[in-house]
């Protein structure tokens, strides 16, 4: 892909608009869901693993939009635009899984999260695959600059997600969620603190 002639920054802003809306909806879904626990503390019991994954996704979505700035120098095509919109949409779908419209048919968020874990972690695997494609779109130099830590992170998250689909033990899910949340915070702060290379 030729990166020698970046598009006008105003055009890049235009291209990002739809994706911004999807990202905004994702963040809104998570924050609204969290606010429910404050508004109605007795209505639903908090499941710590669920809350940790909520914060994981909140950081991931915010982080996603931060690193998408690197697409400024990409020669945009409709296919790339659709891909980025798809990536954002999968993130949104993951956020809606964490806070469905109603969980009346389940015995709280613990029961709900464990019963929907195959969907959530399956989507997390899909997100990681989309991330590899996204990083490749930004160019081979950018992908190489991520180093071995990037590939190790992807591998560990995928492996952990496969185990999370298989294992229903709540203590396992809590431990995994805490490790993933800490890992994502470290990844965001250490590797993506600045937009500039």
Q: Give the pLDDT confidence of 146-164 residue by residue, as tens digits.
A: 889 999 999 999 999 999 9
User: Residue 96: pLDDT above 90?
Assistant: yes
Per residue in 108-124, pLDDT (tens digit) is: 899 999 999 999 999 99
Higher pLDDT pick, 169 / 14: 169
pTM of the prediction? 0.87
Residue with tokens 């994981």: 56
User: Residue 2: pLDDT above 70?
Assistant: no
Virtual torsion, Cα 165, 29, 196, 134, nearest 10 deg: 50
User: Residue 12: pLDDT above 80?
Assistant: no
pLDDT of residue 7: 52
**Is 137:1 a contact under the CB 8 Å cutoff?**
yes
Confidence of residue 34 (pLDDT cuts 50, 70, 90): very high
Residue with tokens 């899909």: 126
Tokens of 111: 């029961």
**Is 19:92 a contact under the CB 8 Å cutoff?**
no
| Average pLDDT score over the chain | 87
**Spatial separation of the C-alpha atoms in residues 146 and 23, rounded to whole Å:** 24
Residues 51-68: what's their mean pLDDT?
90
Q: Which residues contact 157 (CB under 8 A, 6 or more apart)?
A: 124, 128, 180
């Amino acid at each position: 892909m030729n990166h020698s002639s970046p598009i006008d920054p105003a055009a890049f802003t235009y291209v990002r608009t739809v994706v911004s809306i999807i990202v905004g909806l994702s963040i809104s879904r998570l924050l609204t869901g969290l606010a429910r626990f404050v508004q109605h503390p007795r209505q639903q019991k908090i499941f710590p693993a669920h809350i940790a994954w909520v914060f994981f996704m909140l950081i991931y979505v915010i982080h996603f939009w931060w690193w998408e700035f690197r697409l400024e120098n990409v020669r945009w095509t409709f296919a790339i635009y659709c891909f980025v919109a798809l990536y954002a949409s999968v993130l949104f779908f993951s956020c809606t899984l964490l806070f469905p419209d109603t969980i009346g048919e389940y015995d709280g968020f613990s029961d709900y999260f464990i019963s929907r874990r195959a969907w959530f972690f399956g989507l997390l695997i899909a997100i990681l695959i989309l991330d590899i494609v996204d990083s490749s779109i930004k160019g081979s130099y950018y992908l190489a600059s991520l180093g071995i830590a990037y590939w190790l992170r992807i591998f560990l998250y995928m492996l952990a997600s496969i185990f999370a689909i298989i294992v229903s033990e709540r203590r396992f899910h809590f431990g995994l969620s805490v490790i993933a949340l800490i890992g994502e915070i470290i990844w965001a702060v250490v590797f993506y603190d600045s937009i500039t290379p």
